[in-house]
Amino acid sequence: MSRDRESTAINQVLRPAVFFDRDGVLNVDSDYLFEIDKFLWIDGAIEAVKAVNDAGYFAFVITNQSGVARGFYQETDVDRLHDWMAEQLAARDARIDAFEYCPFHPDGLVERYRRISDRRKPQPGMITDLLKKFPVDASKSFVIGDRSSDVEAARAAGLPGHVFAGGNLRDFILPLLANG
């Protein structure tokens, strides 16, 4: 379940990447968010994505979306929200290079999504899939999440993970970009 914003050529120069969790990092976490009218950006989130872009990093979103497996919403709803996020970012000259999400959950009510998946954090599948698709310099890349499962996924993929506990996301990320 991937929404790539840009295609990449095979012989491109490696670039570092920031892997953002979505709910609780880019937007205020409201359970099972899929409605645009309920979406609220975290303070400094758009500016953080722009700072990542301006620093020459890829910007990726990796998000568990078990609401699909639980029957609360459809994959098309996730895609619609991600498209809207991309439009909002573009209006501020910022971009996400790819949105990855995992709709699976072992306790899901929707049978086709009821399963264990290596893409569901704390497993690293979404990160490793992006590392295969894009020319990422993993040695300078990192994950930003708001839960231990985000940090565990980062570690499992061989990347550092940083816990964003709230506040202004741009202020949180600038020192991390400076150290990269």
Q: Rounded to an integer, what distance in angstroms lies between the CA atom of residue 105 and that of residue 93?
A: 35
Q: In the chain, where does DSSP find H-type helix? A: 45-54, 66-69, 75-90, 125-133, 148-156, 169-179
Structure token pair of residue 39: 């979406």
Cβ–Cβ < 8 Å for 104, 67: no
Question: Which one from 4, 23, 43, 93 is the annotated catalytic residue?
Answer: 23
Q: Measured at the alpha carbon of residue 16, what is the angle toward residues 10 and 22, in degrees to the nearest 5? A: 105
Is residue 21 annotated as a catalytic residue, yes or no? yes
Paired sense of beta strands 142-145 and 2-4, if any: unpaired
Question: Is-catalytic flag, 43?
Answer: no
Catalytic residue among 4, 21, 37, 79: 21
Catalytic residue set: 21, 23
